[in-house]
Structure 1
Amino acid sequence: MSRRTRGPRARRRRRVLVWGAVVVLLVGAGLGGVAVWQNTYALREERVTVRHDGRLLDGVLARPANGAGPFGLVVFVHGDGPVDATHETFYRPVWEAFAKAGYASLSLSKPGVGASEGNWLDQSMDDRADETLAAIAWARTRPGIDGRRIGLWGASQAGWVLPKVAARDRAVRFVIAVSPAVDWQQQGRYNLLAELRKNGASQDETQTALRRRETTLDLLRQGATFEHYRNAVGRNDGMTAERWRFIARNYRSNAAEDLRAMRGTPTLLVLAGHDINVDVADTESAYRRVLPPDSLTVRHYPDATHSLVGNAVENSEPRLTLTAVFAPRRLYATGFLTEQHRFVRQFTDRQGTD
């Protein structure tokens, strides 16, 4: 039920600490200037606060380095987990790509992350859509932002949020969906089997895992408590009471109906060739089946992982660390940042930014 995605996030947080240590060592060796230069972006970042549902959400508004605007805006919608506004700096190369096309970027830390109030595990996908709509409404009041050119960018779990927002706010100019799934339960089964294959599980181990999954689904359908789940499963699998309640709120999520409701909104669907979280063939089929061909652009990155990092880079800790320090823009699959720039550029209103 998508809980396995916490492993990569935990590893990513450890990598940030590793990167920090490496940077310190490099400074001591006289190479810190190179790392600082490579991690400097053509952006003007401003800390902002958005109020929603009685809570304050902390975030970053990243404008192009030059010009007064009005700029178009890309509002970021995070994937699963406790993601901060910059996604531990991972978003900055994407923000820069948009800035070069004349677009600002807005990203809020999830509730309970950083200075944002609340708890993201208390949210349904509808709650997340409401939060995103509040961010858009706030942005439309900001000087220097062109409210006619506001689009959405989201990854992974955002696939259940983006279509809701675009369906409810028909003024949203475009949607960029990176590695999204359509059906929560289908995605969970695919991810489970992919992880088992990756880890070399035997046929008996696979069948056991599938039976455990069916038990979990039955418990969710019955509205079982976390204690009931723990007693039924009989093992410590890392599930927490908060996570159980989050899954119970969201395990029925399916984006198909919302995709139909947002028909006509220009959409860029980004899919990775080494995605073990999402069945990209199923996602592409669903998007093509529902969205008109003239509004849908699909881009495949065969050598990329779920996070659009190059597969060879993500699966080598030394290479990942060195790339993050010395060439962070190259973390992403070849051509990804260029395509992000190209896609939003077509919506540039020349009288607004050029």
Structure 2
Amino acid sequence: MKVNRGIRMWVGSAAVLALVAVGVIVVGNDYRYEQTAVRIPTANGELDGVLTTPPGVGARGVVIMVHGDAAVDATQGGLYSPWFEGAADAGFATLSWNKPGVGGSTGDWLAQTMDDRADEVSAVVDWALAQPGLPTDRIVLWGASQAGWVLPKVVAQREDIDAVVAVGTAINWLSQGRYNLLAELDHDGATDSERSHALAESDEIRGILERRAGYEDYLAVTTEESPMTRARWMFVAQNFDADATLDLRDAAEANIPVLLMAGERDRNVDMRETEIVYERVFGENLTVEHFDAVHSLARPVVDDNEFIGASVGIFWPRALLAAGVVDAYATFLRGVD
């Protein structure tokens, strides 16, 4: 039977393209580190985690990853890989874990206060210090977003933290929420009417929180298509009055280097406010790096365009973060004594 030459050529081309795509995926996800699973016992259960180390050589220190909000696993679905690689290139291991209730970790992250989260981080540090062969001569805390209310608590409570990397961290929970609301309204091109309604509803919900009212009161006023679950409401009710200012002042007494990494297009956190407070508190111990990036320090194009974001995430996840982010991170780690 004769086979149409055009079909034969199309099939051949498709096969070549498929092989190229597989090759790109393999190369794009071939990171310069080694990774092993770990199980970390704490007073409240056990945490599943991963330990990432430089390939073939000993590390000079360890980075402890402190997640932001949401049900985050140890690698954030692979999005932490560029951070792991940057640390490995700088000679650092990285220790990260699934939040309580995520994957094999026991517990419930939505039941935690920021103090609970700080205690959890401290327990992980203690575990790391007890592990033979784990490089704890230098301990660096890396934290993103919500971790801004956790990092300074840990530093203030301990004497063995050598540096901090703060990524898109906020100062005050309520002011951060208002900033995020206004930024999203601007981004979405909201009308004056939509803007007024959103602000009024936000104020009403804030009043419910401040009165310590219940979940039903919240449901009675919200117009969100997908309102908070009861568990999420309880999490917010426990933490909405968080403010990092006093903890930051206590942490500053440790006199350690702090790197603040800020996205110029951050719609979640007012990074100018954070920078002003950090500069006032940490002084010459603070290094600030700005990037053309969104809250996660991803490139704006991969955040705004779902197709581009998914494609980059699959084929070349190194390119998810804005230019210069990983280099600045690695350079800071190399300078940690």
Normalising by structure 2, we get a TM-score of: 0.91
Question: Does structure 1 residue 296 correspond to structure 2 residue 280?
Answer: no
Contiguous gaps of at least 5 residues in structure 1: 1-24, 349-354
Give aligned pairs, total.
321
Contact 2:90 2:333 in 1 (8 A): yes
Aligned to 1:156: 145
User: What is the 5 A alignment of 1:194-343?
Assistant: 194-233=183-222, 236-263=225-252, 264-293=255-284, 295-301=285-291, 303-343=292-332
Q: What amino acid sits opposite 1:212 in the alignment?
A: E
Question: Does structure 1 residue 139 correspond to structure 2 residue 131?
Answer: no
Cα displacement string for residues 249-308 of structure 1 (whole angstroms, at most 9, x for unaligned residues): 100001111110111221000000110000111111111111122x1000000x211111
Cα displacement string for residues 156-186 of structure 1 (whole angstroms, at most 9, x for unaligned residues): 1111111111111121000000001100010
Question: Does structure 1 residue 39 correspond to structure 2 residue 29?
Answer: yes
Segment of structure 1 superposing worse, 194-203 or 102-111: 194-203
User: What is the 5 A alignment of 1:46-195?
Assistant: 46-67=36-57, 69=58, 71-195=60-184
Deviation at 1:214, TM superposition (A): 1.3
Deviation at 1:318, TM superposition (A): 2.9
Over 3 Å counting, the alpha-carbon distance change for 1:346 and 1:179 in structure 2 is same
Q: What amino acid sits opposite 2:272 in the alignment?
A: A
Task: Give the Cα–Cα distance (whole angstroms) in 2 for the partners of residues 26 and 81 of structure 1.
Answer: 40
> Residue 204 of structure 1: SS of its match in structure 2?
helix
Task: Give the Cα–Cα distance (whole angstroms) in 1 for the partners of residues 89 and 125 of structure 2.
Answer: 21
Over 3 Å counting, the alpha-carbon distance change for 1:188 and 1:235 in structure 2 is closer
Contiguous gaps of at least 5 residues in structure 2: 1-13
Aligned-residue CA RMSD in angstroms? 1.7
Contact 1:27 1:33 in 2 (8 A): no
> Residue 174 of structure 2: SS of its match in structure 1?
helix
Task: Give the Cα–Cα distance (whole angstroms) in 1 for the partners of residues 165 and 67 of structure 2.
Answer: 12
Contact 1:71 1:144 in 2 (8 A): no
Normalising by structure 1, we get a TM-score of: 0.87
Task: Give the Cα–Cα distance (whole angstroms) in 2 for the partners of residues 327 and 274 of structure 1.
Answer: 22
Deviation at 1:204, TM superposition (A): 1.9
Over 3 Å counting, the alpha-carbon distance change for 1:77 and 1:252 in structure 2 is same
Task: Give the Cα–Cα distance (whole angstroms) in 2 for the partners of residues 105 and 179 of structure 1.
Answer: 19
Task: Give the Cα–Cα distance (whole angstroms) in 2 for the partners of residues 35 and 103 of structure 1.
Answer: 26
Segment of structure 1 superposing worse, 221-230 or 314-323: 314-323
Instruction: State, as a whole percentage, how many aligned pairs show the same letter.
Output: 43
